[in-house]
Amino acid sequence: MRILIFGDVVGRSGRRGICEELPYIRRELSIDFVIVNGENAAGGFGITPKICDQFFTAGADVVTTGNHVWDQKEIIPYIDKESRLLRPHNYPMGTPGRGTGIYEDSVGRKVLVLHFMGLLFMPTLDDPFRGIDQALLNKKLGRDFSAIILDFHGEATSEKVAMGHNLDGKVSAVVGTHSHIPTADHHVLPLGTGYITDLGMCGDYNSVIGMKKEGSISRFRKEVPAPKLEAAEGETTLCGAIIDTDDETGLTTKIAPFRRGGLLEPTIE
């Protein structure tokens, strides 16, 4: 199976790139399943039902989120109805929506998508390591699912690396989101799980992690009052990773970064 996962979509620039390019990318690269992290798609803060539907129309199979999931209040009733939109699983019991889902790829193979948020330098949620154990209870890669993918939304690189090793051999891939900067540590762990600390973002890289430079710089210089942050709207770079899995075991045979358009050096698939 070939799976394409995009990092955090930021603002109009990121939305434009996903909606315009994804249909062609799916065909060009023979992609079977697509996950899009849309947590900053609405002007840099959250996601709306309309934007989520646009991503599904463009070819996303699942949309994940993160700590900005509730920034747009109209998403709350929508997330309870739309099983393809995930919020971090380790929100407390009773939180709207869901953090895991079972889906099918283009030829009917079952894919389990898990979405958890880290604890270091992030909002206080339930323990993601214990939560992962519970979510995977009685579920086996290769037997029950052709692929199991975790979007681990976190700030600390150490926490993401630890989660990767914690799940080595149990899931197809662990990919990090949230920091908006693509890392170069994509590799297959010893027991066959694909790993990358952060996918990067889909948006304008002539910015401060997707936001207009002036407002971000003012905040760091502690100018008062600090201006409201706004998403940069320039040329789009799409960032993510392509994961190829073994059809029998579900483990990763290859993980490669994906970059296209904008300022960053493009990858050659």
Which residues lie below 8 Å from residue 14, measured CB to CB, with a gap of 6+?
8, 40, 41, 201, 202, 203, 204, 210, 236
Backbone Cα Rg of the chain: 17
| Catalytic machinery residues | 68
d(CA 257, CA 184): 8
Strands 33-37 and 8-9, sheet pairing? unpaired
Amino acid residing at 178: H
Token readout for 193 is 């799980």
CA distances to 40, 41, 227, 232 from 219, rounded to whole Å, are 19, 22, 8, 16
d(CA 155, CA 221): 22
d(CA 87, CA 65): 5
Which residues lie below 8 Å from residue 230, measured CB to CB, with a gap of 6+?
43, 44, 211, 212, 215
Q: What's the angle, vertex CA 11, arms to CA 54 and CA 68, rounded to 5?
A: 90
- Cβ neighbourhood burial of 222 (10 Å; 0-12, 13-18, 19+): exposed
